[in-house]
Structure 1
Amino acid sequence: MSENIQETIVELINQASLYGKDSVRVQHLRHVQELILRKDPSLLDNFLEEVLGFQTDKSPEVRKTIISFIEEACQHDPEVIVKVIDSLRLLLYDDNVLVQKRLIVSMITIYRLTLKWLSKSRLVDENVRSMWESMVNMKIHIIAMLDSDNDGLRTVAIKFIEMLALVLSRRTQDSIVPASNEQDFSLNLLQDDHRILRRNKLEQEGKDVMEKLLEFTLSQHLSSVNLIAAMGAIANIARQRPDYMSRVVQTFEALQVNLPPTLVDSQVSSVRKIIKLKLLSLLKHPASFDFQPQITTLLTDLGATQAEVLKHLPKVPTESKRKITLSNSEINTKKSKMTTDDPSIFDKDDSNSSITGKGISTGGVHGSMMSSTSTNSSSSHPQHQTAIDITAADLVGKLSIGNVVDLVLVSMLLLPEKMPASFQATYTPIAAAGTPAQIEHLARLLGAQLTAAGHGKGYELMKSQQQVKPKIEDDIEEGNSIASITGVGRDDSFPSSSMDIDSKSALPSTSGNESSEIPTTSAGITTISTIPSVQQKKMKPFKLADAIKPIEYDEMQRMSTDSFYRILHAEDVCETAGVGHVRKKTMTSLVCLSERSFRDIYEDYIFADVRKRHDLAFAWLYQEFVYANGYLSILDPNKRKDFTKYDDTLCRLLEYLQEKPDQRDGLFSRLLSTAPLITDNALLVLKRYCQDETRSYLGMNTLRDLIFRRINMREKFLDILLDFTHNENVSVRNNAIRIAKSLHEKEEFKQSIERHALKFLKHLTASQPPEALFGDDKKSSTIPNDTWTEDSIRLCLPLYLSLMPSNHYLIQPLATIYTAVNGDIKRVILRVLEIPVRGMGMGSPEILKLVENCPKGAETLITRIIHILTEQTPPSRDLVEKVRDLYHKRVSDVRFLIPVLTGLEKREIISALPKLIKLSPPVVKEVFNRLLGLNASPETSHASPILPSELLIALHQISSEECELKTTMNATTLCLNERSIYTHDVLAVVIQQLVDVNPIPVLFMRTVLQALSFYPKMVGFVMNILQRLITKQAWKQVRIWEGFIKCCQKTRPHSFPLLLQLPPPQLKHVFQTAPELRDGLIRHLRSMSIAQRSVIPSSILTVIEDNSENVAPEIRIQTVPLPSSSSHEQ
């Protein structure tokens, strides 16, 4: 069954490959898809490459079908994603918009599958990492399509971003997920220690794409199609991820009054209907309870009836209502208590400042206009109010009847004479006009428009808060650290720093300098200490010196050390109490302020379980950086920056992490990536790490990350990486080249890397190796530094050669350098060319250009390149033409023709044979191997323009003027030794054709004797050839006659009847040359009957029976070396 399916698939693929109607070809490919993925999935690996070959087909419909195949294959086996990622990337950049749209739709499924597969996969190799990098790049490209000029592309990009927002977020208990998507991936399924996927990073990325989608929804240039798609996407996200409910409701609120001006009347009406439907669906959601006022008001404006609104209201459980009631009563109780304690807190004049003081987003002003991290409404949680909320709250009190009348009158001056049709179509009578709810809604609508235009109280407060809040947060953190450092206690009867207290009493002033924080803190302590009123009862002032005894220095050291140990081992207690961050801050501050004692203790504590306590090490490093810069006022404000301790701490941490046996946690890389400053000593540690053969892979990856992240030190890190590409250690060098090649694909690194590679290539023209190859940080002691050796030559080449397969133009400078170096360097270059030249391929325009414009002195380089290209592949027509022109017009060296022999015409090969066989024996052997198709695999074999028989005949016909006889003999011997090619049938054809040549070739009889030696069964055929030689009077050609006699000796007794046919003089000469033939012939005559002897001429019998030594007619004999019997056998 499986074999039948395979045959069917092969036939269908072949039919689809033929040119015909696209619909028929698509039908064939769909049939292939059904057979492979639904009937016999085991065949997927066998036919995957064949199917992917259609990805470059001219027909868009065929390419779309391939995308469908890839999508279904990934659904069947997610591991296929690694194999098809390059195809997906190619199709993403397709010229046809329909193909791009189809791919983005498929990427929605494939990206989701990729995350789900990676979250379960434990084996992560380099291929998987590369796949994920490509997937991330494709995701970025698709997101960027939101700015495309094509509406269709924007629509599918919106759907893709909707998927991203869902999979890169967590499900909650209130999430309403369709049954078809129950098994989809979400961040709940991802473990914290995944090797590739970082939950926090992905979650932040999900929030970012959601923000981008919301901003896109509010754009003023959207078409109705894109707007409807965006509204559907954000509504669906809010239903499945209630955390975004607040942002989505605010977006609809802003959109309702800021529709794009490009929409026509019918589109406006349609969009408003969609907004109404989406808001009704959100109103059904349990998480919309806190947003019902806003949603209900919006629905009312959009024309929804009260019955419709009530029908879609969610049912809130009784228990939830009770919790809400209790929460409101507690809030009211706290408010009344705080009002009693300090009535100024709720002063009307300060109401706005109290709102803004409790919660302003730290994002941008325009971004925070709509941003809110809370899922509750602004009325429930004022600490998360947005700019719109603040402006609306400010406007509510100002929307008096008089102000509204003035606004209406002013606005009437700008009204058109006729009511616009769009307004008339969308206007809904205002229900309950003048009520507080309607006034609040109107204030929110005005607030949204004012904030969008960059006006309003909320916008201004948000802008000022952005400038003040970072400073306030720094001062708060600084004040807390100072309190922990100086050991200031805190009475339990007073609120701790973690409690929610009024900002006026908790925050220090930001108008003064940093030193003003200490008096503020002291003032707080004074207030605490005056409550018991103990000091007023004493008769004399208290003096600390009178109450304490002096303590010895050693005792103080012991006590402080014991205290530090207690803090170290209070981890569980502090975590339980929720003050783990205070403990961490205290420890790092004490370590940074102390000398060596605490540092050593702290180090040992961290290194005892560095995987669990690495956050302490990072916090320590950051604290050292803060002190080194003199940011804290507790230190000497006039002290200059000193990074000695920071450098020592960073290097000690790196050295320990470097020596760790297990490097899988990546702490070494994380420390370098997150360190606020990388010192020169830290770079030395990094270099040692990269030079360790067992850690060089991770070290080079760390260098790559630093190059991307540390923009200000990018050139320094890149120089370090490029220096490693010439390292003597092969593992280190290969890892560095791997990273350099990946960086070279980025435009910002391309020139720097090529410039470095070319610089080292040019070093080869110097008289001795450069000092850069023998630096102190390179383990090159085994390579002499005063003269070029093969090892030192190879160190200058690998980076440049590794860039050539993807950057073909680099071969031109290589050829120029080649002409300027000495012979030893040229030989090394020729030996290492194979891999890069094969990577470039025969169709490279740069190679053809180099062959056409061969620099003087680079002939051997060109020959080697052509040899490599044609070793396993027949030469292309373009290459043959370039080489032919080079041979005939510029370089008449026949060696240039050897690589392209199989591409030449038969007459060209025959005319070049005399020159070719004059070359050295190994070269001649290669010539015959190419012409005879030897050493070629079945996949790469190809028809030679000349047959083996024609080649041997052409060798026999080479004249002595063109080539020496001995050279021709050696060439024919090389051919005849290929027994697999020159079988007895081929040799019979050759001999049969040569015997008809006039005159007979000189080497003819030599070939006959060799054929007889290789194939003794050819004796009958040879007798026929000798018979023809007698009729052609072979004795007239001395060399042929000598071969004839030699053949007669070898074929006894079969040759005796032939000897009887010779004329008497020739027979007598045979007997003189080979006397043993006479005896054999006499015995042959005696075995014949009288009747048989009677037909023999008497003259012949006389010659046979004549024992005289008469000499036959004189014949000039020239010595022709003929193979002896022993030599033939050999």
Structure 2
Amino acid sequence: MEQTRDQAVQLLNDAKLASDANAKVDKLTGLIELVVRKQPALLQEFLPELVLLQAEPQKPVRLFLAQLLEEATAAAPEPHILVTSLRCLTALLGDAVPAVVKRSVLAANPVFRVVLAVAAGGGLHEAGAAALREMWAVASEFKSAIIKLAVNHSNDGVKLNAIKFLEQTVVLYTGDLLPTLYPGAPSEALRMQPWPPSHALLKPTVLAREAEAHLMELVAMLKPPKVDSLAGPITIVAIKVVSSIAQQRPNFMGRVLPTLLGLASRCGEEGSTVAVSTSTAVKAALLTVLRCRAPTALPWHKKVTKGLQVMGAGDAAEAENRKVKEEPQAAPAQGQPGGPPAQQQVPAAAPPQPAITPKAELDQIMAVLGALAADPHPQQRGMLNSFVAGLQPALLADVVIANMARLPTRGQMGLAPAPAPNGALLAGLMQGLSNRPATPPGPIAGPRPPQGPPPVPIPVPVARPPPNIQLAPKDLTHAQRAALRRGAVERILAATKTPARHFRAGLLARLATKAPKQDGVADEMLESLLRDFHAQGGYALVMKWLFSLYVADAGLEPADALVANTATGMEVDQADGSAVESKPALLEGLEGEEASIATTESRIALSHEAGPSGQEQRSGPDLSGSQYEAVLLAVCEGVREALPAGDRTIARILLEAPVLPSPGVPNLLRDLCAGGGDWATLGLTTAQNIIMLRPPNRFAALGVVLDVAVCKQSDARGKAIRLVANKLFPMIALAPRIERFASQQLHSLMERPKPKPTAAGKPALPAGGKRLHAANVQLKQPLTAANADEPGASISEADGNRLCGLYCVLCTKRQTLLRGLFEVYAAAGPGGKAAIQKQAPALARVVGPAAPALIALVNATPPRSEPLMLACLYALTEKDKPPEALVKACLAQHTRRRDPRWLVPALAGMTRAAVVAVFPSLLNLDAARFNDMIHRLRNVPEEGKGLMNPSEILVALHTADLQKEKIPIRKLILALNLCLDQRDVFTPEALALTLQQLVVRTPLPPLFMRFVIQTQALAPKLKGYIMELLGTLVSRNIWSEPQQWKGWVMCAKETAPDSFPALLQLPTAMLKEALRQMPPAITKQLLEFATSGSSPVTVPRTTLVLLKELTTAVPRLPQPAEAQPAASGSAS
């Protein structure tokens, strides 16, 4: 008990220090297991600390506190425990969270029933009267608070539970029998007994008046106008509750039926707002009244029938009435078939006699009386008096009569008294007696049934000495022994309701262990268990069986199985499998295998309680291939087929089994994970629990999880990777092995040359090569690739994703692993590179742009891993502005490598002047990255505006120093074409603004006139502006720049006749040169335009003369020497 107390103190301190609500609840769950279910005696010490949790801000903790108090009152039904629990529950009723209030009201039903039973059993004595009065006062306050919630609370769920509590209170207060629990008895000994004639606390008349008041509060809720404001579910539940009370307590018919009939009339009216479900509930309640045969219900049958007719249920009402009329007529007919009942005089019936107590029950009661009378302790004497006072008169008379035959004779008066019975046997007898249904009280003055004539004495012959007969035993055959063993097992398996169910499990386990395999006893037990596992108490039987097999297969002798300083033993309860403490005294008297099994259970329980540690503990004997392993795996497979995946029985078996043989259990876990969905969740959760709670099997279970983390099933693989990264990798003892496994899987992506054939024609292994780790199990779908580690094998992208996924996730937990990822990428094949590069963006976003490990990698990127690094950088800076350290690292890489791709991630962190300075290098980008660069310049993250607008980008391109970076002119032409292709970005307004900024530069940019021609073609609405620009260029002597002059002439030719005013502004010599490069038709049109008088410019006379000469001159074909400049001009 001291060890349990120390564990409880540790759990309580951990719960107080835990900041997370779920962690706090987990600690409190373990505390309940210790101080409520295992050692209820510790409640007196720990309950004052636990009730302080009502001030916790987390809702789950306060919800759990209500459950804790409910279990505490059932485990230790003592006045001071009940007072503390009731006060805490009363405080929780005022909680601001409706869920907490609802759970507290739900706990009120069993708690108040226990309070009433304790008050009934303890109020017959003066001892402890003050504590009982305090308990009853606190319980009354608690009840009043719940009544207020039933009427006034805003939450419907709280109201429903409060109304149900009122129903229980009314029924308990007005019954003929009262729940009674005597002092010192457990809550399982609660029994229904008649009201005591005189009680210090409970007065039947007072409680009846309180019950009637509570009923009237319920009835008032169903009267208008209150019923119109109630929610539909509240109204339906209230109707069912008052109907149930009237059915169980017919004397309340007059209180309930007027209100129900009023609701019936409202349901029958047209335009009524009562819901259809409410009408159905009222009909059902009234039909229940018609079925009631109590005298107080009969006068209401006519009114109830009318009410049902109003509601449209007249046929159902008539059917019930016919049943009532037919029943009284059938009774005389059975006893008097010969004549009418009115003509015969029937004598008055004798009063009913109490039934004779069955012999089995009578023997059980006498055993309890003998056990109590044999104990000289004063407390047991008080329990004896209370027990006798609670017996019904008829039952007590049968006990006296039966005991008269056992009175000692005169010669036996000096014999010593019998020894006191075992305490456990006494508790079992009293518990079995408490489960006996109470016999309703009846008159006791009537005579018993006639016993018949007195027996005639029969002469008894004189006994003779038995003859001396020698009988030789005859051995059974093997078949007979097998049949006998199977028959015994079958009969025990069929006896599921036996009171000795704890012994049943141990006996079956021993029989199955000792039986030869050919008998089929094990198969019979498995088949019976799996037929209905939980109803058969399967978990308890399986654990007993496994422990018995473990002792037998491991060859443990009783002396070897004993554990030094073992203070407790563990016994699994049949119903729910919960562990309950058994006193060391129970181990006394066990010999041989029984002692070995008991102490082995204790040892394994203690080793599990020790918790996980960083060191691998001794795993015990190797039982692979044994009967123990076969039964363990067969049970788990059978449970898997019989129960759904949501059932955690397999996990419980594997956690509590004495030992987990390999490779059977790991293969079982792999099979579970291969099932996918909930089965994969069950397998991984079980493996995690084994890792945490069973150190000897830690690394075997870890191997299962790691194998699933690289399997081909994406759903199971994702769950396993999350489990490893979030739960297992942070553990210091597991991290090196997990990292090593992930690194091995990642290195399997590396390309290795195919081995050269040897002289024998067989491939040689790589020099110094070791085969990488591969899963050695076969699931429904293979967990790992079959050829992933073969030298020279080509790995697909799908296999690459599977093999590198775990390592990539681990990089987010430990950033120093990033370098290994980049080194493997450099040596990986196409499939491996595609897989790693596919996961790189998400990995980079999790790591973050400011991670020191990432910046160090940018400064020193492993050779041939630049594409992966660039993919990470592009993903990092797509939506976030890069930090200064990352910008410097990218610029340093560009300086070393002269690769413009390193500039793009850094653009958002650079100034405009710095960007303009590196524009020549950006011209070397491919089309996709160039367009991405344009997008980044226009949209800088976190600033809401661009670093450069479209016109500034075009100006920077035109003015880029191509000679400095030795960039060919074709690169600039390609870049301008890419920009102009984005018409939604580079709009006509942006193009006009660009021309305005470029035309004032001296000299003009090399591609200026080419850009003018492109602008005229892309934005026709700018034609007028371009014609003005041509005139402006004439005033700047555009012919002084040969390349620009060629472009000017080409633009004038393409825009004629709109360009005629600009042509007429040219000097005569330059006009002549320009017209020689144009078709003669343009010269003729220009002459007509100049002589028409509509020219906006003044035409010199020399110009007119030139135009006439050129028009009247005989047209000639251009010479080859003259055709070449035209061609070069068009090319420009």
Scaled by the length of structure 1, the TM-score of the pair is 0.54
* AA in 2 matched with 1:601: E
Other-structure match for 2:1074: 1070
Asked whether the 8 Å contact 1:1049–1:1077 carries over to 2, the reply is no
Relative to structure 1, the CA distance from residue 536 to residue 980 in structure 2 (aligned partners, 3 Å threshold; closer, same or farther) is farther
DSSP 3-state at the match of 2:1004:
coil
Any residues of structure 2 matched to 1:626-775 within 5 Å, and which? 626-629=551-554, 630=556, 644-660=626-642, 662-680=644-662, 681-694=664-677, 695-743=679-727, 744-762=729-747, 767=752, 770-773=771-774, 775=776
| Paired-residue identity, % | 20
Say which of 1087, 1109, 1118 aligns to 1:1106. Answer: 1109
Other-structure match for 2:426: 500
Whether 1:570 aligns to 2:495 is yes
Asked whether the 8 Å contact 2:553–2:623 carries over to 1, the reply is yes
Relative to structure 1, the CA distance from residue 959 to residue 1068 in structure 2 (aligned partners, 3 Å threshold; closer, same or farther) is farther
2:836 and 2:856 map into 1 onto residues whose CA distance is 20
Other-structure match for 2:512: 591
Other-structure match for 1:897: 903
Other-structure match for 2:529: 606
2:1105 and 2:28 map into 1 onto residues whose CA distance is 101
Task: Return the offset for 1:733.
Answer: 2.0
C-alpha distance after superposition, 1:686-720 (max 9, x if no partner): 22222333432221111111111112221221222
DSSP 3-state at the match of 2:978:
helix
Asked whether the 8 Å contact 2:749–2:828 carries over to 1, the reply is yes
Task: Return the offset for 1:1030.
Answer: 0.8
Other-structure match for 1:918: 924
Other-structure match for 1:953: 955
Say which of 1037, 1042, 1045 aligns to 2:1046. Answer: 1042
2:203 and 2:713 map into 1 onto residues whose CA distance is 73
C-alpha distance after superposition, 1:237-262 (max 9, x if no partner): x999989x99xxxxxxxxxxxxxxxx
Say which of 1049, 1060, 1067 aligns to 2:1064. Answer: 1060
Other-structure match for 2:808: 801
2:86 and 2:937 map into 1 onto residues whose CA distance is 73
C-alpha distance after superposition, 1:868-888 (max 9, x if no partner): 201222223332233334544
* AA in 2 matched with 1:316: L
Structure 1: gaps spanning 5 or more residues: 1-91, 94-99, 112-131, 142-152, 192-198, 204-237, 247-276, 294-313, 321-329, 356-376, 383-493, 504-533, 1125-1130
DSSP 3-state at the match of 2:903:
helix
Other-structure match for 2:1099: 1096
Relative to structure 1, the CA distance from residue 1033 to residue 604 in structure 2 (aligned partners, 3 Å threshold; closer, same or farther) is same
* AA in 2 matched with 1:168: L
C-alpha distance after superposition, 1:429-454 (max 9, x if no partner): xxxxxxxxxxxxxxxxxxxxxxxxxx
How many residue pairs were aligned?
A: 713
Relative to structure 1, the CA distance from residue 664 to residue 1087 in structure 2 (aligned partners, 3 Å threshold; closer, same or farther) is farther
* AA in 1 matched with 2:1103: I
1:893 and 1:379 map into 2 onto residues whose CA distance is 99
1:166 and 1:536 map into 2 onto residues whose CA distance is 71
Q: Which moved more, 1:1007-1016 or 1:860-869?
A: 860-869
Whether 1:176 aligns to 2:89 is no
DSSP 3-state at the match of 2:816:
helix
1:541 and 1:188 map into 2 onto residues whose CA distance is 80
1:871 and 1:535 map into 2 onto residues whose CA distance is 114
1:154 and 1:636 map into 2 onto residues whose CA distance is 39
1:378 and 1:897 map into 2 onto residues whose CA distance is 92
Relative to structure 1, the CA distance from residue 1058 to residue 380 in structure 2 (aligned partners, 3 Å threshold; closer, same or farther) is farther
Whether 1:625 aligns to 2:609 is no
Task: Return the offset for 1:1060.
Answer: 1.8
Q: Which of the pair is proportionally richer in helix?
A: 1
Any residues of structure 2 matched to 1:31-110 within 5 Å, and which? none
Asked whether the 8 Å contact 2:725–2:810 carries over to 1, the reply is yes
2:712 and 2:1019 map into 1 onto residues whose CA distance is 57
1:582 and 1:155 map into 2 onto residues whose CA distance is 38
1:186 and 1:921 map into 2 onto residues whose CA distance is 61
Asked whether the 8 Å contact 2:546–2:657 carries over to 1, the reply is yes
* AA in 2 matched with 1:1106: E
Asked whether the 8 Å contact 2:692–2:698 carries over to 1, the reply is yes
Asked whether the 8 Å contact 2:690–2:701 carries over to 1, the reply is yes
Task: Return the offset for 1:1041.
Answer: 1.7
* AA in 2 matched with 1:181: L
Relative to structure 1, the CA distance from residue 712 to residue 339 in structure 2 (aligned partners, 3 Å threshold; closer, same or farther) is closer
Task: Return the offset for 1:825.
Answer: 4.9
Scaled by the length of structure 2, the TM-score of the pair is 0.54
C-alpha distance after superposition, 1:872-912 (max 9, x if no partner): 22223332233334544x55433211111122122222221
Say which of 973, 992, 996 aligns to 2:996. Answer: 992
DSSP 3-state at the match of 1:773:
coil
Task: Return the offset for 1:1032.
Answer: 0.9
DSSP 3-state at the match of 1:945:
coil
Task: Return the offset for 1:811.
Answer: 2.3
1:138 and 1:552 map into 2 onto residues whose CA distance is 58
DSSP 3-state at the match of 1:500:
helix
C-alpha distance after superposition, 1:333-369 (max 9, x if no partner): 99997799x8xx75xxxx8xxx9xxxxxxxxxxxxxx
Other-structure match for 2:441: none
Relative to structure 1, the CA distance from residue 669 to residue 997 in structure 2 (aligned partners, 3 Å threshold; closer, same or farther) is same
Other-structure match for 2:817: 810
C-alpha distance after superposition, 1:540-597 (max 9, x if no partner): 4565548xx87665556545544443333333xx34xx23333333333322222342
1:950 and 1:1003 map into 2 onto residues whose CA distance is 16
Whether 1:850 aligns to 2:850 is no
Relative to structure 1, the CA distance from residue 944 to residue 776 in structure 2 (aligned partners, 3 Å threshold; closer, same or farther) is same
Asked whether the 8 Å contact 1:168–1:186 carries over to 2, the reply is no
Relative to structure 1, the CA distance from residue 781 to residue 915 in structure 2 (aligned partners, 3 Å threshold; closer, same or farther) is closer
Root-mean-square deviation (CA, aligned residues, Å) is 5.6
DSSP 3-state at the match of 1:1070:
helix
DSSP 3-state at the match of 1:678:
coil
* AA in 1 matched with 2:644: D
Other-structure match for 1:444: none
Asked whether the 8 Å contact 2:858–2:889 carries over to 1, the reply is yes
C-alpha distance after superposition, 1:180-226 (max 9, x if no partner): 533879999889xxxxxxx9xxx9xxxxxxxxxxxxxxxxxxxxxxx
1:892 and 1:797 map into 2 onto residues whose CA distance is 31
* AA in 1 matched with 2:86: I
Asked whether the 8 Å contact 1:1005–1:1040 carries over to 2, the reply is yes
Say which of 1007, 1024, 1030 aligns to 2:1028. Answer: 1024
Other-structure match for 1:317: 202
Task: Return the offset for 1:679.
Answer: 1.1
Asked whether the 8 Å contact 1:1056–1:1084 carries over to 2, the reply is no
Task: Return the offset for 1:1056.
Answer: 1.8
Structure 2: gaps spanning 5 or more residues: 1-12, 32-48, 120-129, 141-179, 185-198, 206-362, 385-419, 430-460, 559-589, 598-620, 754-769
* AA in 1 matched with 2:879: Q
Whether 1:883 aligns to 2:890 is yes
Any residues of structure 2 matched to 1:206-605 within 5 Å, and which? 316-317=201-202, 499-500=425-426, 538-541=465-468, 543-545=470-472, 554=479, 557-558=482-483, 560-571=485-496, 574-575=497-498, 578-594=499-515, 595=517, 596-605=519-528
Asked whether the 8 Å contact 2:725–2:813 carries over to 1, the reply is no
2:139 and 2:51 map into 1 onto residues whose CA distance is 29
Asked whether the 8 Å contact 2:744–2:772 carries over to 1, the reply is no
Asked whether the 8 Å contact 2:837–2:871 carries over to 1, the reply is yes
